[in-house]
Amino acid sequence: MSNSTIEHLLKRRSVSANALGDPGPDRAQLEQILTAAARVPDHKKLAPWRFILFEGEARDAFGRVLAEVCREEEPEPSAIRLETEAKRFLRAPVVIAVISRVRTNVPVPEWEQVLSAGAACQNMVLAASALGFGVNWITEWYAFSGGVRRALGLEENERVAGFIYIGTAKEKPEERPRPTLEEIVSAWKPS
């Protein structure tokens, strides 16, 4: 592992979607980010994930879908709430939905396939941040909405693992407390 890789892993921070702006990745950078995301541990090469891109006007159009679904699924959302939903995907120049797709009738447990989708999300985060972009992996309400599932065209075996917002950080995020190794690491001992 190169020094720059370990430094990146030790320093990386998410940037809130609200603190992202232009520019986003260009074509070549986006291809690198997506290729890195597809290069994750994947038991039996199932590719138990797929990616849906939202760029340009598609972000605006998807915002209209979010507002519509919000109106259908929530009791009397306020005008401000609907406005927030309509603008949600405009927070960053690129949003990528990472879709976990679990194959049945394969000798790989669902748990492993879902974990691989999480790894794809994190590789996407790492690749985009290594290229200098601010990134946020979030789900928010619309990852779990039936109406949004339909709008995304998800199959029964598919779930949103995350929406990855990618752009340029307008401000540098502050450091965030992390668990100490004492809190989370133990050495196994025979009983």
Ligand X SMILES: Cc1cc2nc3c(=O)[nH]c(=O)nc-3n(C[C@H](O)[C@H](O)[C@H](O)COP(=O)(O)O)c2cc1C
Q: Which residues bind ligand X (CB under 6 A)?
A: 13-14, 136-140, 162, 176
The count of C-alpha atoms lying within 13 angstroms of the C-alpha of 100, restricted to the half-sphere facing its C-beta, is: 20
Q: Rounded to the nearest whole angstrom, what is the least distance from the CB of residue 131 to ligand X in the complex?
A: 16
Q: Rounded to the nearest whole angstrom, what is the least distance from the CB of residue 138 to ligand X in the complex?
A: 4
H/E stretch holding 11: helix 3-11
Q: Which is nearer to ligand X, 31 or 171 (CB)?
A: 171
Q: Rounded to the nearest whole angstrom, what is the least distance from the CB of residue 147 to ligand X in the complex?
A: 18
**Helix-helix angle 79-87:57-73, to 10 degrees:** 150
Q: Which is nearer to ligand X, 31 or 136 (CB)?
A: 136
Q: Rounded to the nearest whole angstrom, what is the least distance from the CB of residue 176 to ligand X in the complex?
A: 5
Q: What are the strands, taking DSSP E only, across 9-150?
A: 20-21, 49-55, 94-101, 134-138
Contact 130, 8 (CB under 8 A): yes
Backbone conformation region of residue 133, classed left if phi is above 0, alpha if psi is from -120 to 50, else beta? beta
Q: Which is nearer to ligand X, 21 or 118 (CB)?
A: 118
Q: Which is nearer to ligand X, 29 or 100 (CB)?
A: 100
- In sequence order, the 6+-apart residues with CB closer than 8 A to the CB of 62 are 54, 89, 151
Q: Rounded to the nearest whole angstrom, what is the least distance from the CB of residue 184 to ligand X in the complex?
A: 14
Q: Which is nearer to ligand X, 139 or 157 (CB)?
A: 139
Contact 93, 24 (CB under 8 A): yes
Output the residue with the shortest Cβ distance to ligand X: 14
